[in-house]
Each structure stands twice: as structure tokens, then as C-alpha cells.
Chains A and B, each alone.
Chain A
């Protein structure tokens, strides 16, 4: 293990380059996200993810946000285990009827002020599953949604962009 740790120290980090003008989209995003998160919410924003019947594609990419390339936590954004600790519900899936009650209860368990982000094409309007007897067809059919992030699934960069947009929305609450 020591070898791996020393190797990594010697090589520097994998995390995408620090904010600088004309850097990659990700670097710009990183800077903007950090600035806005700090201004609006202090130093942290806690996210509770709810899978409301997705195929799991969105979860794979949401999990990727934690890998060393994206390193979500450097922005003060982190995933928490309970809705009671959360500022944001990040919801995926076409909202299956079998998940409706659990989603509504999770929403009610999240303290105000709270934001709901619907991630993925299914979460927008049911996507490919719209019209099924088993799906409500989008998160807003169950709980109020503040922001949609498109994609099937959205890439980690798209998810970061979406979270940034959330922080820029001038909310009157």
C-alpha cells in the first residue's frame, strides 16, 4: 500500500486541473461551482440521492462524481445517508408506482429549505418508460422539482453543470 501511496504522491493528483481561464469545461465548472456553493450555502451542500426506479445508469454516473477525476467533495458537495441531513434530493428514474410512496416520504423527511433535482431523461418525463402502467412518468408527477438534468444517463460533467445551475438559480425562498 505504501508503494501505491508514494507513487501517487510522486505523480500528483488525477483530479482535473485547477480553475484557470481557458481550461477544460470541467475546470471552469469547478471554479464556478465552488464559488456559488460557498456564497449561497456556506461551505457545504448535502445531497440525498433517491433512485425512484431508474435502470441504474444514472446511479453509475452519480457514483463516478466521487472518483478522483471529479472529486465532488472538493466543492463542499457530499452525499449523505439520510434525507434529514440533506439540502438537495437528487432523484432518478421514471418514478415507478411502487416507489411513489417512498419518494414522497423521503421528500417530507427532508427539512426546508430544500431543492429537488431530477436527473436523467426518465426523471424528466418518464423517458422510454412514459405511458407504462407501472410508472408515474417523471419526478414532478410526485414531488415539486426545481431543476432537471437531461441525459441518458447524464455524464458526471453534465451532473456537475446541473448542480452549478441549481446554485445559480435565484430562489426567493
Chain B
């Protein structure tokens, strides 16, 4: 069996691919890679299309870094990897929808993001002229048997939540099959990115998934800086990590409370909601925006941290450390709550590994992966933090991973405040070097690893930007984790995953 490095040597290296190598391969090598992926030797990081080509990012082992394979689709087709390796299925369906490139031999060729309402087909590839033929009704997968019935939920849900559709097939109360249909939040971000300047593009990146606005802006900016070979001032790098950890804290606080709320345990919701609000208010005091939107941009950060902000953060740390341990005890000692979370919505380690699940979803099911540690980017290479893993894979394990991450993030915020370097927070961009350039970045958002692959044209404008949300590899396994659970536990399972709709739909 060839290693990933050996396989890549058989391809033709693309000059200027940074920071990780990209090679052009033929259809045979592409399929060999798919075979080795399916055998579990490597992990899929992403699969996306460009004009007339498809790209696949693979990870053999974190220490070696990812490798990217590219295949020209001469006749508008490429060999399907999805028929060998299920995690790629939805990505291939998306490529088909947006670019019209066909995955040959695919096991599932139904549309994914395209619901037949755009007025165009393949908006990023060869446009099909209007009028577009109506799309046939969507075929949900079958589940047949005595006593089975279906429950359709969404896209408008009963609470304040993003749009998506769930089709449950149930036997009595037990779910025998869940099928998700997403795409309702598809805004066409890939298309809007084309020919956008960096200033516009980073704003779009920051609006891909609202709860990860910092992580997306960070991933985009790092990809752009890698492409343009720009060094960002040290203080900006540290402030970015500060924002990323605050975003992680806000989301974990909010979600831990919301998970308990779905088990009708409202006290935790109120208490955690208070901590979340305190983080958002500290963020506003520090950077002038509660979600810290548009605060990170290529070249640095848009706002420096003043004395008021530092005081607000010190206060936040004190407050969180005083109250959070009591809440953990409450969570752990409440039998009625544990009864709902322990053993519920179990994701097996095998499936988490196969799908390369990131974030707390993967780490609660034994996948020891964190982009902050796997591809250590500054300043995390100089900071102390632990990445903890559990193996139970149930709602309770996902809650505990988040509890541990809160503790680590509080420690990280403190380290950053103690050691924050002085100096400028932004450099000018030397745009339009006259050459096309490309860059890639992987950062750890609160939900998991976010991948951004960026190609800039000679004027420094975006030629292609691909952003891969961690949810791509978390949504499909939720379908498996819910099996055998009762319908009433779905909100609990769903919230403990908290996959992004908008980030996936793009």
C-alpha cells in the first residue's frame, strides 16, 4: 500500500500550492486514493470542484499535514469516491448541483442543495439556459414494514432554529430511520465569492455560519495570507486566538444550557445563558461587537484591545470560574437529567473515525483530533492546553467534552491576556502581485475543523473559495446516532451535535 506521500509523488506537483502540496492526478490515481480512503487508511478533509476540475484533501496523519489531489474532468465527469466512501456522497451531490460535474458510478445521484427553485441549473458551471425544466419530486429513502409510519418535520421548526427538513420513520416511539434534507439556507456564497475583493470576501466568509463568524473569518484570512505570503503582526495573531476562544466559550455555554433545556431542565439553561451573555458583553467591550463579526480580516484584526476590554475579560474569567463548577456539579448530580443524556444518541467510534468527525462530536466518540494541535498555528504552538477525548459517544459524552473545553478556553484566555505582545494589529496587503496564488487553512472552530481553500487571481481577487464546514461530516452521522432512540429524544441528540445548517448549505 502506498503512503499518501508516495501516492502524491506519482502525480504532477502544482507549483505555488501553499502551505500543503497539491498534485494533478489521473482518474486511476484518483480511484486508488478513494479505495485507500475507503479502507480506512486516511481521512477525508474535503472534496470540492473548481471550473472543470475536482479536488480532494486527504489526511494520512496529522504530523505530515494534508495532501490535495486534483483531477481534470475532461468530459464533465469524474469517478465517484462516494460509492466507495460514504462521507463523500453529499459533497459529490453538491458538486453535481453547483458545477454540473457528474460523479460517475455514484450510489446516490439525487440533488442535494438544488431544490429546483433557483431558476438555473449548475450555477457555477455550465449554466443551463432558462427556462429550466421542473425538478421531479425528491425521493426520500424507503423504510417499509409493519407498523411503520413517517413523521415529517421542518423546514420551519417549532423553536428559534435554522431551516432544515427531517423525515423520521418510526415504529411506535422508536426511530428506525431518519433522513435529513438540507439546502434551505443555501445562499450561493461560492458564487458571490467569485471576483470578490478580499475585503468583501472575508465579510462573506464571516456570514457563512453566524455562530462561527470568528472561526470563518480567521480561516479565510489565514488562507489569504498564506496565498499572498503575508506575515501578520504578533499582537493580531494573539488577539485572533483570544476572539476564537471567546467564541468557543459563548457557544459552549449556550449549548450546554440548551441541551439541558431540551431535557426540560430549565435552571441550567438560565444559568448557562447568563454566562453566555456575559461573554457576549465582554466581546462587545473588547472589540465593539457581541459576536465579534468583521473583526478579523486579511492582514490582521480590525480592532485593538484596550484597558477596558482587558478589565471586562478579567471580570468574565472570575465570574465563570466562580459559577461554572457549581453548574457542572448540578449537571452531574441530577439523576433526571442524566437519565436523558447517558446512553442517548450514541455515535460509535468506528463511524466517527470513518466520517472524520471533528470537534466535540468526534472527540466524544474517541477521535483524538483538534486542528489547534494537529496543524499548530500561532499562537497555539506557544500556548498550553489539553485536548480530552471520551469514547461513550452519547449526549452525555458530548456535554462533558464541551465542559472540559470550557475549562481549557478559560485557561487559554488567561494565558493570552498575560502574554499578549505589544505592537501593531494590522499590515497592509500587497494585493495583485500579478500572479495567481493559492492558499489553504484549517482552523478549529467551536464545532470542529473549518477548511478554507482559496485561489486568487493576478489582481488579488477571489477566483475560487471553498469553505468546508465541520457539519458536512457531522450531519450524516446524526442519522445513525438517532437510530433506536425515541422521537422525543431527537431534540436532545440534535442539540448535542448542534450541526450548522447555514455553514453546510453555504
Chain A interface residues (CB < 8 Å from chain B): 1, 3-5, 14, 49-64, 66-69, 79, 81-83, 93-94, 96-103, 106, 127-129, 131-135, 152-153, 155
Contacts and interface: CB of A to CB of B under 8 A. Distances in A.
Contacts, number: 149
B187 A132 contact: yes
B207 A55 contact: yes
A159 to B, nearest CB: 12
24 contacts: A50-B156, A52-B163, A53-B163, A53-B185, A55-B502, A57-B213, A57-B291, A59-B210, A60-B211, A64-B276, A67-B270, A68-B277, A79-B159, A96-B184, A97-B117, A99-B184, A99-B185, A129-B187, A129-B189, A132-B191, A133-B119, A134-B186, A134-B188, A153-B210
B231 interface: no
A1 B330 CA distance: 6
A51 B273 contact: no
B293 A152 contact: yes
B244 interface: no
Interface in B187-223: 187-189, 191-192, 203-204, 207-211, 213
Question: Which 7 A/B pairs are nearest by Cβ-Cβ distance?
Answer: A57-B210, A134-B188, A132-B188, A81-B158, A56-B210, A67-B273, A55-B210
B502 A56 contact: yes
A4 B213 contact: no
B210 A97 contact: no
Contacts of B270: 67-68
Contacts of B162: 51, 54, 56, 59
B360 interface: no
B186 A96 contact: yes
B293 A61 contact: no
A103 B184 CA distance: 11
Given A64-B277, A69-B274, 20 more contacts: A51-B161, A53-B163, A53-B187, A56-B162, A56-B500, A56-B501, A60-B254, A60-B291, A68-B277, A97-B117, A99-B163, A100-B117, A102-B156, A128-B207, A129-B188, A129-B207, A133-B120, A134-B118, A135-B188, A153-B291
Contact of B277 (A1, A67, A96): A67
Contact of B159 (A53, A81, A100, A155): A81
Interface of B: 113, 115, 117-120, 123, 155-156, 158-163, 183-189, 191-192, 203-204, 207-211, 213, 254, 267, 270-271, 273-274, 276-277, 280, 290-291, 293, 326-327, 330, 334, 500-502, 505
A161 B291 CA distance: 19
Contact of B185 (A69, A96, A100, A133): A96
A68 B274 contact: yes
B115 A133 contact: no
Nearest to A69: B277
A133 B191 contact: yes
B274 A14 contact: yes
A14 B120 CA distance: 51
Given A52-B163, A67-B273, A79-B159, A97 B207 contact: no
A97 B119 CA distance: 9
A53 B291 CA distance: 19
Nearest to A79: B160
Contacts of A102: 155-156, 163, 184
A129 B254 CA distance: 27
Contacts of A49: 160
Contacts of B163: 51-53, 99, 102
A98 B138 CA distance: 13
Contacts of A62: 160
Contacts of B334: 1
A103 B163 CA distance: 11
A154 B72 CA distance: 44
A99 B181 CA distance: 13
Contacts of A93: 185
Given A54-B210, A67-B273, A106 B156 contact: yes
Nearest to A53: B185
Contacts of A101: 117
Nearest to A99: B184
Contacts of A54: 162, 185, 210, 502
B373 to A, nearest CB: 27
A47 B277 CA distance: 22
A98 B210 contact: no
A82 B192 CA distance: 34
A53 B277 CA distance: 24
B87 to A, nearest CB: 23
Nearest to A155: B290
Contacts of B192: 128-129, 131-132
B479 to A, nearest CB: 20
B273 A133 contact: no
A128 B204 contact: yes
A25 to B, nearest CB: 14
Contacts of A132: 187-189, 191-192
A63 B204 contact: no
A129 to B, nearest CB: 5
Contact of B274 (A3, A57, A67, A155): A67
